[in-house]
Structure 1
Amino acid sequence: MKVRELEAALFDAFPREQAEAWDHVGLSVGDPADEVRLVRVALDATAEEVRAAHAMGANVLVAHHPVYIEAPDAFTPLASDRPQAGAAVFEAARLGLSVLSFHTNLDRSLAAREALPARLGIAVATSLEHADDPATPGYGAIADVEPCTLRDLAARAAEALDVDPRVWGAPAAKVARVAFMGGSLGHFGDLALRAGADAIVCGEAGYHVCQDLAARGLGVVLLGHDVSEEPFCQVLACACERAGIAPERIAVAERTRREERPWWTYTGGRLA
Structure 2
Amino acid sequence: MKTQLVITDVTRMQEGRVCVAGYTHQRECVRPVLPHPGIHETMLYANGQAIVFPFAVVEYDLLERIVEPPHTEDWRYDPRSVRGIKRVDEKDRRAILDRLLCPSVAAIFGAKIFSGQGHYLLIGQGERSLGTIQPKPGIEAIIEPRDDVWKYRLRFTDQSDAEYRLAITDLTWRYFCDAQKRAGKSPEKLAAELTGKLRSSQVYVRIGLARGWEEHPARCYLQITGVYTFPDILKGKTFADFVP
- Per the shorter chain, which TM-score range? under 0.3
Q: Which has the higher Rg, Structure 1 or Structure 2?
A: 1
**TM-score, scaled relative to structure 1:** 0.23
